[in-house]
Amino acid sequence: MKLLNLINKKVHIIGINGIGMSALAVYLKKNKIDVSGSDIASNSNTKILEKNGIPVQIGHKPSNVRGKDMIFYSTAIKDNPEIDAAKKSNIPFYNRSKLLQLICNDKFTIVVTGSHGKTTTTSMLGHLLVCSGLSPTIITGGIMNNFGQNIYLTDSNYVVVEADESDGTVFKLNPKILIYLNVDKEHLDYYKSFTKLKSKIKTYIKKVSKNSLVILNNDDIFLQKLSNISKNIITYGKSTKSNYYYKIDKLTEKDSKFNFFQQNEKIAKIKSPLLGEHNVQNLCAILAVIKHLNIQISNKDVMNFKGIQRRMNTLGKIKNSILVDDYAHHPTEIQKLIEVCKLYKNKDFFLIIEPHRFSRLNDLYSDYIKILKNIKNLIILKTYSAGESFEKNMKDSKNLVNDLNVLSNNKVSYIDTYDELFTLLDTLVNAKNSKIIVAAGAGSISAQMRFFYESRKY
């Protein structure tokens, strides 16, 4: 099946308001495919979809799929009356990964994947390729501030795609260029073990590198071991043994400056608006792609990148307090976030964590303890379940707070409701000391922090 086969067909997407599915829906609509969708609730993506002429039904019911020719559904969807109705009516239905395959087939596809940093890397790469004149279609898992949505559509043969490991989607794609940023203990609910995840990645890199370029992070222990699989693999990182490597010049709360090397030759001095060494590392992967494609960009192009919503996103300032929203929800991501916040000199740092999923908290409990035990001003919210059930013998946010208070010399606060959080935030922002307050999580904390800021910024 090809994407062309969907023209003049009525396509319905279940879970259309998700950050990934909404981008694909817009792609279909712009390619003259009749598309509709449904979801359990509206959100900011609903407005983008409706602006693009895509009707969205709130609530899942069998009548939503009546008369449809094909169904695509989000991985987040489990039992669903619309899927049941499709089965009864013999309407073909497929997972999101199938739709992404159809879009990428017959295109010069550049895939960005890994455990962390995918959205920012995909977006910056896409932005720079647009600046170069290649003007690819860009599909990401976040709202790109340069373009105002999670997809940038062009007629170019180039497509830059963020591909997720969470449901195995990435392993079904056959890109011309594959960037693998890192490998971490993530999505273990799907893979059942870290060993199985690594085995899947190794097999995939072997397959892709037979005919396509693979760019691996040489500072990642697991990926470094795979760098000799094929002559089509190149590496990047801090290690001077990499094909492309960087040397930090200066990291501040405003920008990052570094030198970029190919083999042992310095080929560029870069200034980036992205903060922290992890973003310097990811930018090296992007620059490796640009060198491979033999295209030209300027440092002005790099500095014109406006970032991604919910990625170290400064909401604004209330009195002496800077409020920041971030998507970090894995211990490694939280650690990188902490490192960036330390760049803000002469400001007290307050960290608000909303743990995401009981399974992730329990799988990585010791990692959470390790990175959080030395935070002076730490507030932990009730765990955001993301639809999971709390099971016997599991630990939750209260356990995490109790254990941290035993292990740490700092008092860790537990917050059960957003109303309690707002009361605490009111106290913090009205205090005279200069501070940065960072809220991290993949659940509702982002919307709540935006609400708090908007209701008090005057």
Enter the tokens of residue 318: 């209330």
φ, ψ (nearest 5 deg) of residue 387: 90, -5
Q: What was the pLDDT predicted at 168? A: 87
Q: What was the pLDDT predicted at 6? A: 87
Q: Burial level of 387, CB count in 10 A (0-12/13-18/19+)?
A: exposed
- Work out the number of other CB atoms within 10 angstroms of the CB of residue 31: 14
Give 198's contacts (C-beta < 8 A, 6+ positions apart). Answer: 183, 222
Q: How far is CA 279 from CA 61, 93, 124, 258, in A?
A: 43, 38, 10, 11
Q: In this structure, are residues 404 and 373 in contact, taking their beta carbons and an 8 Å threshold?
A: yes
| Distance separating alpha carbons of residues 347 and 342, to the nearest angstrom | 9
Crossing angle, helix 331-341 and helix 277-293, to 10 degrees?
100
Q: How far is CA 405 from CA 202, 209, 252, 352, 397, in A?
A: 40, 48, 31, 16, 12
Q: In this structure, are residues 161 and 111 in contact, taking their beta carbons and an 8 Å threshold?
A: yes
- Work out the number of other CB atoms within 10 angstroms of the CB of residue 207: 14
Q: Does an H or E element contain 88, and which? A: helix 81-88
Structural domains of the chain ordered from first start: 8-95 (3.40.50.720), 106-303 (3.40.1190.10), 313-456 (3.90.190.20)
Q: Is 0.75 surpassed by the pTM of this model? A: yes
Q: In this structure, are residues 95 and 72 in contact, taking their beta carbons and an 8 Å threshold?
A: yes
Tally: H helices and E strands in the chain: 16, 21
Give 374's contacts (C-beta < 8 A, 6+ positions apart). Answer: 408, 410
Q: What was the pLDDT predicted at 353? A: 98
Give 233's contacts (C-beta < 8 A, 6+ positions apart). Answer: 205, 209, 213, 214, 215, 216, 226, 227
Residues of the chain with pLDDT under 50: none
Residue holding tokens 């999923």? 357
Q: What was the pLDDT predicted at 8? A: 87
Enter the tokens of residue 127: 């932005």
